[in-house]
Amino acid sequence: MAENTTKLVAVAKSRFTQLTSSRQSALERARSNSKLTIPGLVPDDGQDSNASFEQPYQSLGARCINNLAAWLLVTLFPPDQHFARLSVHEDTAAELGENLSTVKEALNRISSKAHLLIDTSMSRPIFMEVLRHLIVAGNALVYFALDGGAPRMFRLDQYVVLRDERGGMLEAVVFEKVYPSTLTEEVRAACKVVTEEGKENDKLVEVYTHIKRVGDDIVHYQEINGIIVPGSEGKSPKDSSGWMALRWQAIPGSDYGRAHVSEYVGDLMSLEDLSKAIIQFAAVASRIIHIVDPNAMIDVEELAGAETGDFVTGYIDKVKALQLEKTQDFSVASAVAERLELRLSHAFMLQSGTVRQAERVTAEEIRAMAQELENVLGGVYTVLSAEFQLPLIRRILYILIRQGEAPELPKSVQPTIVTGFEALGRNHSANKLRMWMDDMVAIYGPQVIQSITDPTEVGRRFADSYGIEAVESLIKSAEAQQEEQQSAMANQAALAAAPQIAKGAADAMNMEAGPEQAPPQI
């Protein structure tokens, strides 16, 4: 539920018009990128979802976009892991002492509720579409309402944004068209939405949503026909706002971000032109045309109408198939296209296109290649963490508090992102630890490495690198390990002493039986 604001003036439409010019260059790049990859993702003016779009001659662009978006979705929002956790400040943790574990358990329950809300609100399909727009257009606007339902996403052609010198959102205006039937009678009457009897769905109504930062709050309202929609006013703290203006790459001094596709648009355009030329050549080359010597005594109609196995009178050297004799030229084009595909596969983390074609490709080679590809996105992770993940978890916590599902959290408790860039750093730590242990085993042997390392500590470090939670419940305590060692030593000592004990028992039995008597002589 939103708190009502006061002294709002309906200026949404005029502000949208004023800010449209600064968006033009970013929107043109986004539409150009969309035509090379996924046509219709950012449609042209006047086009809608029912319009037909010209398809490119290659599908690698669309494949790269979908692959990278899916990779990022799993990396930023893993389905089997929380992407954020609630952490207690070090000073407060020291003051809590023995009560720290109890506090952590309570915070883990709140974190689980937050992630459950994201899963139950069907947010992941929307996040997938958001990532596709960020890769192609470089910008997207997301709104998470207080009711905890599925978030909404707006394309770059649907909104304008104004940022401060640090990149924070100062103002945004969303433009959309809705059917009058989706509006209540109260709204239609207040905003003077005129409809004809039986034709209320024919003419779309323009709706403007104005979002503006006022002090420490984000204020928003909706406007139709220059009139503020009743009940649309609301505000929330800027750190917990549901409006998130996202960017792929933050450009200093710019209100809009740069897309990943824009960095490689040259390769995509070249591949598109080469693919078109190769396909057209293949279409021409597939035509079968025979040339007959006009001086040859050959009936062309008889030759054309001959069935398989028929005999036709004539000289074989008088009939030849038409050949383009351009195979060598187009082999060069094909080779260049393959190199372009390889470069684009690297840029969009399409690993299947970057693994070398050989009989033996080791798992370590594939792992190193995957790590190299992921390193390319290190800078993107930082932007998405600051502008998407952190505001999202804060918004979810704010919703839980407003719904009474979570208590007010003190300032000493803050959400921390544990996926994306943080996970990338932990992967590097795990690789370094693995390489160090492999080198130690190669130099000194496995016996030495086992004697100088603590298996429990090594296990903890790997678990932390992989983001495994509650690892203490998986590792045996020091007391349990000591008891097992003592029990194993006792069993080993018993096994070692067993032959001596058996021999002693046998000797004692022989002594009790006395000396063996010789049989009588006959």
Three-state secondary structure readout of 308-342: CCCCCCCCHHHEEECCCCCHHHHHHHHHHHHHHHH
Q: What is the 3-state secondary structure (H, E, C) of 200-212?
A: CCCCCEEEEEEEE
pTM of the model: 0.78
- For residue 70, count CB atoms less than 10 angstroms from its CB and return exposed for 0-12, middle for 13-18, buried for 19 or more: middle
pLDDT at 108 over 80: yes
Mean pLDDT estimate for the chain: 84
What is the pLDDT confidence band of residue 37, given thresholds at 50, 70 and 90? very high
Q: What is the mean pLDDT of residues 154-165?
A: 96
pLDDT of amino acid 436:
82
Q: Is 218 helix (H, G, I), strand (E, B) or coil?
A: strand
Q: pLDDT confidence of 1, banded at 50, 70, 90? A: very low
Q: What percent of the chain has pLDDT over 70?
A: 83
Summarised one tens digit per residue, pLDDT across range 253-279 is: 999 999 999 999 999 999 999 999 999
Which has the higher per-residue pLDDT, 314 or 369? 314
Residue 411, Cα to own-chain centre: how many angstroms?
Answer: 30
Alpha carbon of 231 to those of 144, 204, 446: distances in Å?
18, 21, 71
Average pLDDT on 152-158 reads: 96
pLDDT tens string 441-480:
888 888 888 888 888 777 777 776 666 666 666 777 777 7
Q: Name the DSSP class of 224.
A: E
Average pLDDT for residues 221-243, to the nearest whole number? 93
| Count of positions (residues) in the chain | 522
From 20-29, 333-342, 407-416, 511-520, the region with the lowest mean pLDDT: 511-520
In Å, what is the CA distance from 413 to each residue of 103, 167, 420?
10, 25, 21
Predicted local confidence at residue 110, as pLDDT = 92
pLDDT in tens, 490-499: 777 777 766 7
Q: Above 80 in pLDDT, residue 187?
A: yes
Helices (H), 160-216: 185-190
pLDDT at 522 over 50: no
CA atoms of 86 and 414, how far apart (whole Å):
6
- For 462-488, the three-class secondary structure string (H helix, E strand, C coil) is HHHHCCCCCHHHCCCCHHHHHHHHHHH
